[in-house]
């Protein structure tokens, strides 16, 4: 959810003006001039699958609607009142936030590290790019089942096998032990999606003009100084973007948990979206589930609005 | 500096965010039952069920037999994923007016499935024509299919929680007599048996699912032993909390002690528990009887018996598979008759069904020599009079919210992350919440 989709007002057609800039009256414009006709197909789909569900979901959250769409009554803000008092809402929201915190840092830092590495290694660069980006192309189900059945099982899984190869006999319940389950999901997500951030950083790196580095070198700046004073500052905008995108992506965690732990052990990895799913589809309470998702929606909206603000502030500072 | 791709990515990511947060719950459309034409002179009969694995194979075989004997009925069976997703789909099909003629349902879920609105009642005269009458069933189970004086569910079987035992390990531990497990009565005797087994093999004597996604076994464990104390979780009408703290604590503390003493495997998921018991070094496995096919296939030397009476009676947790008629606006005529025909046929042929471990609910089959020859399936048939089904509540029954939530709570007792006292308080709080929540799918009589 970003400003471009959420908060931008509908495009207002500019009023025709005469040469002096005064609004012209009675001038018939061609029907294509609005541009509206060209965006109509997109807008129709957008309205059908985004705007309408948004509105109808908000309506549903004020009712006791069930999954069969029959027998719901208007109950005002009761669902919201219940959700605020519901400890499961808070615990699953916390799990979502915790996952976001745990996953965002390595996903950004590792993505940057890999990009710097690939940027330096001019040899077989395509190979680095391919191998680090390839996992991102796999569907979530494939990745999760791979980790669930081949890498993380205790004893015979690849992770435990590697640990025992170096003389440890771990037998760690990667997904069944509360201490490790969330970390295992973070690790899976890191392997799966770090390629995207890596690619963004790589593109930004390649856009940094070479003459800056040459000038710095002439002034006797070493590699460390060049990284610190040229590369990182010039990547700042990309970093803001990557962090915000990553936070949004991480907040929406569902697939990995649903497939790998089902929210367990003891609901310690259950994210808010899974709770919405459970309330709505297992508990049949679509009205309540809608209310919980709107609370979550408010959170996502807030995070989305941070990014343009940050970008604008940076732009203003740069302009001074 | 940013290529345009990024801003589009951003828009896409943003859009996905809204969709995930809200759109997922927007306009939902029920899934239609596939409409295929029956041949000329044939009646189309659609049957939805949730039998996978060994049960699925058995069910397919039975349905094929039915087809052979009933050329005038075009039977179209759909196997759907067991559990919560099945009930979601069935409910939505009923609401969308595209329900199948016949479906399987867990009996304990009936109260939460809007009988009278999402389900139509059976025509008892029609069933009687096929030779199926009320007196052919255990009265308690038959009554559970009734709501407001109408019969909304006809039970096919009961599937209790049972005790599997590895015959060779038990022999070595001196727990066998005459090729069968010596009777065990009382909690201390059972713990002694586990100790003897552990001495014989060096492994914990008991394995059962203690954790995992939506793990239900911890609930079954608690539910079985708590029923033995004579306690009930809810009042008889399913409307009030009836949890007896002292009795529940006795059970939970006992289970916690078994794990602490190393008599029971502490951390193992469902598939893992099957694997451990299959490994042949564990004396006992507690699970539903439906895994019989698995162990028969692997050739493990094992047998099965009723859960011993550890806390009083020999009650055990169970649910029943039943037939229901999902609501159709124009139910009647030949398709409805075909649904009754299949129901009756299934009951009368449930010896085949019993191979999968389930105890037939249709009493005439229980005396059928073909059933009595099934070993060890017929060894625990007496359990049918002692099964503890959930009290009728909208949030109870197989794969229900109560099972999934309490399964997670009691899982903590087994894995050691919760003390019995904490688990009891947590269970109480959760049951209260469920009781305070209005039935989202009210039926005719609730």
Name the phi and psi angles at B298, rounded to 5: -80, -10
B245-293 confidence digits (pLDDT tens): 999 999 999 999 999 999 999 988 898 899 999 999 999 999 999 999 8
Q: Please indicate whether, in this complex, the C-beta atoms of A4 and B267 are within 8 angstroms of each other.
A: no
Positive or negative, the Cα torsion across B326, B332, B334, B336? positive
Find, in chain B, the residue whose alpha carbon is nearest to that of A293.
Answer: B21
Q: Please indicate whether, in this complex, the C-beta atoms of A304 and B27 are within 8 angstroms of each other.
A: no
Q: Please indicate whether, in this complex, the C-beta atoms of B441 and A52 are within 8 angstroms of each other.
A: no
B317-329 confidence digits (pLDDT tens): 999 999 999 998 8
Question: Residue A11's pLDDT is what?
Answer: 47
Q: Please indicate whether, in this complex, the C-beta atoms of A289 and B25 are within 8 angstroms of each other.
A: yes
- Give how far B71 is from chain A: nearest CA, Å: 35
How far is B262 from B7, CA to CA, in rounded Å?
Answer: 58
- Give how far A165 is from chain B: nearest CA, Å: 23
Q: Which residues of B touch A60 (CB under 8 A)?
A: 25
Q: Does B118 touch chain A (CB under 8 A)?
A: yes
- Give how far A266 is from chain B: nearest CA, Å: 5
A58-99 confidence digits (pLDDT tens): 999 999 888 777 767 899 999 999 999 999 999 999 999 999
What Rg value do the Cα atoms of chain A yield, rounded?
Answer: 25
Positive or negative, the Cα torsion across A297, A299, A303, A308? positive
CB B431 within 8 A of CB B243: yes
The mean pLDDT value for B210-223 works out to 91
The length of chain A is: 320
Helices assigned H by DSSP within B70-111? 84-95
Whether the ω angle into residue B376 lies within 30 degrees of 0, i.e. cis, is: yes
Nearest CB among B23, B26, B408 relative to A264 is that of B408
Q: Which residues fall within 8 angstroms of residue B275, CB to CB, at 6 or more apart? A: none
Strands (E) in B344-435, as ranges, are 359-360, 387-388
Q: Which of B5, B12, B17 to mutate to test the interface with A (most CBs of A within 10 A)?
A: B17
How far is B210 from B213, CA to CA, in rounded Å?
Answer: 10
Pair of tokens at residue A214: 């040459």
Q: Does B415 touch chain A (CB under 8 A)?
A: yes
Residues 329-368 of B with CB under 8 A from A: none
Looking from the CA of A76 toward its CB, the CA atoms found within 13 Å total 2
Question: Residue A24's pLDDT is what?
Answer: 56
The mean pLDDT value for B89-100 works out to 83
Name the phi and psi angles at B163, rounded to 5: -105, 120
- Give how far A51 is from chain B: nearest CA, Å: 9
Which residue, chain included where needed, has tokens 């343009």? Answer: A308
Q: Which residues of B touch A252 (CB under 8 A)?
A: 16-17, 20-21
Q: Please indicate whether, in this complex, the C-beta atoms of B213 and A304 are within 8 angstroms of each other.
A: no
Element (H, E) at B163: strand B157-166
Give chain A's residues under pLDDT 70.
1-34, 71, 170, 314-315, 318-320
**Mean pLDDT of chain B, nearest integer:** 88
Residues 22-41 of B with CB under 8 A from A: 22-28, 30
CB B241 within 8 A of CB B431: yes
């Amino acid at each position: 959810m970003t400003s471009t989709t959420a908060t931008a007002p509908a495009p207002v057609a500019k009023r025709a003006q005469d040469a002096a800039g005064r609004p012209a009256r009675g001038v018939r414009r061609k029907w294509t001039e609005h541009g509206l006709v060209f965006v109509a197909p997109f807008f129709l789909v957008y309205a059908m699958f985004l705007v309408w569900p948004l509105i109808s979901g908000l309506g549903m959250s004020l009712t006791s609607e069930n999954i069969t769409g029959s027998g719901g009554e208007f109950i005002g803000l009761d669902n919201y009142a219940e959700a605020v008092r519901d400890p499961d809402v808070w615990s699953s929201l916390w799990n979502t936030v915790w996952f976001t915190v745990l996953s965002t840092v390595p996903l950004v830092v590792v993505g940057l590290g890999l990009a710097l590495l690939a940027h330096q290694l001019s040899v077989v660069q395509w190979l680095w790019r391919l191998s680090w980006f390839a996992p991102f192309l796999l569907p979530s189900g494939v990745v999760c089942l791979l980790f669930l059945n081949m890498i993380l099982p205790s004893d015979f899984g690849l992770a435990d096998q590697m640990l025992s190869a170096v003389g440890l006999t771990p037998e760690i319940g990667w997904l069944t032990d509360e201490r490790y389950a969330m970390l295992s999901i973070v690790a899976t997500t890191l392997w799966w999606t770090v390629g995207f951030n890596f690619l963004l950083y790589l593109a930004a790196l390649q856009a940094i003009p070479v003459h800056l580095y040459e000038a710095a070198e002439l002034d006797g700046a070493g590699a460390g100084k060049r990284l610190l004073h040229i590369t990182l500052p010039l990547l700042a905008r990309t970093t803001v973007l990557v962090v915000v995108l990553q936070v949004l992506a991480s907040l929406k965690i569902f697939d990995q948990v649903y497939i790998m732990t089902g929210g367990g052990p003891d609901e310690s990895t259950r994210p808010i979206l899974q709770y919405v799913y459970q309330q709505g589809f297992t508990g049949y309470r679509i009205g309540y589930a809608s209310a919980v998702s709107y609370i979550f929606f408010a959170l996502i909206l807030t995070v989305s609005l941070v990014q343009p603000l940050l970008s604008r502030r940076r732009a203003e500072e740069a302009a001074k | 500096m940013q290529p345009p791709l990024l801003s589009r990515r951003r828009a896409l990511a943003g859009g996905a965010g809204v969709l995930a947060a809200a759109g997922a719950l927007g306009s939902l459309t029920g899934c239609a039952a596939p409409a295929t034409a029956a041949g000329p002179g044939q009646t189309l009969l659609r049957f939805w069920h949730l039998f996978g694995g060994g049960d699925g194979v058995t069910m397919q075989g039975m349905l094929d037999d039915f087809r052979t004997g009933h050329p005038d009925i075009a039977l179209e069976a759909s196997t759907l994923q067991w559990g919560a997703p099945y009930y979601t789909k069935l409910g939505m099909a009923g609401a969308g007016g595209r329900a199948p003629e016949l479906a399987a349902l867990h009996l304990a879920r009936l109260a939460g499935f809007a009988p009278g609105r999402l389900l139509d009642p059976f025509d008892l005269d029609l069933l009687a024509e096929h030779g199926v009458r009320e007196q052919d069933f255990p009265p308690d189970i038959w009554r559970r299919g009734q709501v407001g004086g109408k019969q909304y569910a006809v039970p096919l079987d009961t599937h209790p929680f049972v005790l599997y035992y590895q015959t060779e390990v038990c022999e070595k531990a001196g727990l066998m007599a005459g090729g069968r497990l010596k009777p065990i009565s009382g909690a201390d005797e059972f713990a002694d048996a586990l100790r003897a087994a552990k001495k014989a093999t060096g492994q914990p004597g008991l394995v059962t699912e203690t954790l995992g996604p939506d793990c239900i076994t911890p609930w079954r464990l608690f539910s079985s032993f708590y029923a033995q104390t004579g306690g009930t979780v809810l009042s008889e009408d399913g409307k009030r909390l009836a949890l007896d703290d002292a009795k529940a604590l006795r059970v939970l503390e006992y289970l916690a002690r078994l794990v602490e003493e190393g008599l029971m495997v502490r951390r193992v998921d469902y598939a893992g528990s099957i694997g451990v018991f299959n490994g042949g070094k564990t004396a006992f496995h507690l699970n539903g009887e439906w895994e019989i096919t698995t162990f028969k296939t692997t050739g493990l030397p094992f047998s099965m018996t009723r859960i011993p009476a550890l806390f009083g009676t020999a009650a055990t947790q169970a649910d029943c598979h039943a037939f229901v008629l999902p609501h159709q606006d124009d139910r009647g005529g030949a398709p409805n008759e075909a649904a009754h025909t299949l129901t009756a046929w299934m009951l009368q042929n449930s010896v085949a069904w019993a191979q999968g471990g389930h105890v037939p609910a249709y009493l005439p089959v229980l005396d059928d020599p073909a059933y009595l020859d099934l070993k060890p399936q017929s060894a625990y048939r007496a359990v049918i009079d002692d099964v503890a089904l959930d009290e009728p509540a909208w949030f109870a029954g197989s794969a229900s919210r109560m099972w999934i939530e309490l399964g997670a709570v009691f899982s903590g007792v087994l894995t050691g992350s919760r003390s019995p006292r904490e688990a009891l308080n947590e269970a109480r709080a959760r049951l209260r919440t469920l009781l305070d929540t209005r039935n989202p799918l009210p039926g005719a009589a609730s």
